[in-house]
Amino acid sequence: MAKLIVDKLNVKGKRVLMRVDFNVPLDEQQNITDDTRIQAALPTIKAAVKAGGKVILMSHLGRPKGEPKPEFSLAPAARRLGELLGKPVTLAPDCVGAEVQKMVGAMADGDVIVLENLRFHKGEEKSDPEFIKQLASLGDVYVNDAFGTSHRKHASMYGVPAALPKGSRAIGFLVQKELQFLGDALTNPRRPFVAILGGAKVSDKIGVIENLSQKVDVLLIGGAMSYTFMRALGQSTGNSKVEAVKENKDGSKTDVIALAKDLLKKLEGARAELVLPVDHLVVEAFDESSPTAVQGPEIDEGWMGVDIGPKTVELYKSKLAGAKTVVWNGPMGVFEKEPWAKGTRTICAALADLKGATTVIGGGDSAAAVTQFGYDDKMSHISTGGGASLEFLEGKGFACLDVIDEA
């Protein structure tokens, strides 16, 4: 995807309407507990400021469901951005309206304004034409540096750039990096190419598994989703968390075990070698003080799996040895609880030890695990978009990137 990059856009004296992802976690006192997403947007913001642009930042935070709620204000993000930039950053009282228009009109070159939460308006997620029109009127040029929401065809992501003229729509450095690493992994990987998929739900990753199975050399499965595959193979899973049925938005239900069976049949002729856990760390109760045991390949009644077992850890390490490209999305177990973290931690260490390999971490819990265990600086790239990176790995197109001008 050869898209126009922000540094090729003439922004001097222009209003730069930039979509960022400041959806940061907050504690009960509205303090930011992790500013990674703000830090990730800094290079693009600084470049636009240095080039003399008037930078107007748009973002959502949380799920206020279309109405203003103080606990979802972007005020903490605006304050933190000001600290990181070392200059005043103004928070607008809203993202549209006469007062916002007046504030934007009074901006000098190099000024930065953060608009209040886009999702305080129902028009953001519904892509309301009037809301799009009001937002688009604030900018002369548009920059998408919010990869985490690039799979959402919302007003600020698609409607606004579509409303601005050709030649004025670019991506930021964060999105450029995401497309480079994820895109290269899928289209031009150095081999051996290994994918690691974990997490709870098979239904969320059916498309990803199908797509990657035709591209990778080895596909390692872990986490609770492995129990669903075990059930599809007729194996006992004890009391383990199994996604047997998916509740759909329209009220219907999907038989996930049947989906998993179909997928296993499809994979028989795939390029990838599919590898499932051969043993499991199990407990009698979902409590860190509960005694653990190792069972496998099946799990006895009265026990539940919480991590891959020691034989699986060694097997997966051997499959990763010598890999030149690795994509990882989803932990191997309940890594948040220390007694059950070994599988996920070992995968982190194995990736960190790979020599000359490209290691791409697909956001979400995988990114949290890599950071928690102190391996974040050892990875080639950690994606900022859990859902977006998952859809990218599935091979889905992003309309919000298609609308950006070509380089």
Of the candidates 123, 198, 223, 364, the residue annotated as catalytic is: 364
| Distance (Å, whole) CA 245 – CA 208 | 19
Within the chain, how many helices (H) and strands (E) appear?
A: 15, 17
DSSP labels, 99-158? HHHHHHHTPPTT-EEE---GGGSHHHHHT-HHHHHHHHTT-SEEEE--GGGTTS--IIII
Of the candidates 201, 246, 261, 337, the residue annotated as catalytic is: 201
Secondary structure (3-state) at 89: coil
Is 387 among the residues known to form the active site?
A: yes
DSSP labels, 226-254? HHHHHHHTT--BTT-----EEE-TTS-EE
Is 215 among the residues known to form the active site?
A: no
| Distance (Å, whole) CA 30 – CA 74 | 10
Is 37 among the residues known to form the active site?
A: yes
Strand 304-308 with 280-283, pairing: antiparallel
Is 302 among the residues known to form the active site?
A: no
Of the candidates 82, 110, 387, 395, the residue annotated as catalytic is: 387
DSSP labels, 166-217? TTSEEE-HHHHHHHHHHHHHHHS--SSEEEEE-SS-STTTHHHHHHHHTT-S
Of the candidates 3, 14, 19, 37, the residue annotated as catalytic is: 37
Known catalytic residues are 37, 201, 364, 387
